[in-house]
Every structure is written in C-alpha cells, then in structure tokens.
Amino acid sequence: MFLASSLTGLSILLLSACSTDPASSIYDQLEKQAQLEQKAETIAEQRTRQDEVSVNTYQAVLEAGADDIKRAQNERDELTDLNQKRVDLLKQEQKIRSRAFEEFDRQELTDEIATLPADAKKDGTALLDIFDQRKKAFNTFLKRYEAVITSEKKVLSYLTEKPNFVKIDEATADLNQTSRQATDALKTFNQLTVRYNELKPAFYEKVGLNIK
C-alpha cells in the first residue's frame, strides 16, 4: 500500500554581493529555478498527508470482514473523494514543477559553464547532469504515482456489497507492486535532490561567489 514521504526540496542560497560575471549569471538562473520549484513543496506536503489518510482508510476496509466491507459505504465514498483530491494536487504540483523545469535554460548554462576554470567547469557540468536526472526522476515518479491511483481505483471497484475476495486480493497485490515502484522513484528523486543541494554551494565556492 502506498505511503510516501514528501519530495525533498531544493535549497535556496543567498548571494551577499551582485556582479555581472558568468558565475553570477549562473547563480541567478539556478536560484530563480529553485525558488519557482519550491512553490510546489507545500502542495507536495498536502498530497502526502492525503496519501497517509488514504492508506489508513484502505487498510481499515481491507482488514474488515465481509460483513464490514458490505457496510463500509462511507469509507468507499471517502476513498473516492481522497483519490480525486490527490489527483488534483498532483496536477497542481506537476504544473508548478514543469514550469520551474522550463526556466532552466540548459544550453545557456552549458555555454556559461564552459567559460569557467576547469575545476569549476567539472562541478558545474555535474550540477547540470544531476538536475537532468532529477527532472527525469520526477517524471518517473509522476507516472508511477498515477499508476498507484489507477490500482487503488481498481481495488475500490471490488469493495462492493458483494465483494469478490479473490479479485480484491489480486488487485491489492498489483497495488502493492505499483506502490513499491512509486516509492522507489520517489527515493531516487530525493537522493538526487540531496546530492544537488550538496554540490551547488560547493560549485558556488569554486567560482568565487560569496554565499550567505
């Protein structure tokens, strides 16, 4: 059954003085993107709380006996509403993150990083590569989360007044599998975000930026 932690957010670093050199231009782009993406964090936290409620409700229904499932119309209605809320929150989060990802002008950043000293260029290139991996990992999580919602709806469709427990068991097994896949994708995204947050201040230091 799906129960995910929140997605790890990007850190925001403040520059103590402004300049017009390539390093400062790179800083401006990276931090603008991070600020835009952080707007999705509140929505992601709301979705995670709804995930927790949904998991607990599903487990309560599935652990009930046949007679309880027949009487559990309120829980089924609650789960239907929860699924829709989670889908709506996911769409909001996707919209914000997609817009933030689009602000990341990789070609311009690549050209600017190419003008830096070799050591800084290496870290800057690694930073761009990790960002690309984060974007890919989020899209993977998105698809797998959508698969979880589909699997949950299938389980829910069998929680009727005349439950077919064989089909419920099969659908639950499928749900558990899609949940594990979504959780794995989330872990990958979070690990990449942690690495990105670690590398960014180190890169800034190498290009001589004074970060608060």
55 pLDDT band (50/70/90 cuts)?
Answer: confident
Residue 110 in domain: yes
Residue 88 in domain: yes
**Residue 150 and residue 127 in contact, taking contact as beta carbons nearer than 8 Å:** no
Whole-number pLDDT of residue 71:
61
Whole-number pLDDT of residue 114:
93
Whole-number pLDDT of residue 170:
93
Whole-number pLDDT of residue 115:
92
Q: For position 102, which CATH number holds?
A: 1.20.120.570
**Residue 196 and residue 130 in contact, taking contact as beta carbons nearer than 8 Å:** yes
Range of the domain at 140: 22-206
**Residue 185 and residue 4 in contact, taking contact as beta carbons nearer than 8 Å:** no
96 pLDDT band (50/70/90 cuts)?
Answer: very high
**Position with higher pLDDT, 159 vs 6:** 159
Whole-number pLDDT of residue 16:
44
Query: Which tokens in the block code for residue 94?
Result: 């996707």
Whole-number pLDDT of residue 17:
44
Residue 118 in domain: yes
**Position with higher pLDDT, 36 vs 17:** 36
Pairwise CA distance, residues 65 & 110, whole Å: 60
CA-CA distances (angstroms) from residue 132 to 17, 56, 64, 150? 29, 35, 45, 28
Collapsed DSSP state (helix, strand, coil) of residue 106: helix
Query: Count of domains in the chain?
Result: 1
CB-hemisphere CA count at 13 Å for 33? 20
Q: Is pLDDT above 90 for 95?
A: yes
Residue range 147-171: mean pLDDT, rounded: 86
Residue 102 in domain: yes
Residue 10 in domain: no
Residue 95 in domain: yes
For the entire predicted model, the pTM comes to 0.85
Residue 6 in domain: no
Residue 9 in domain: no
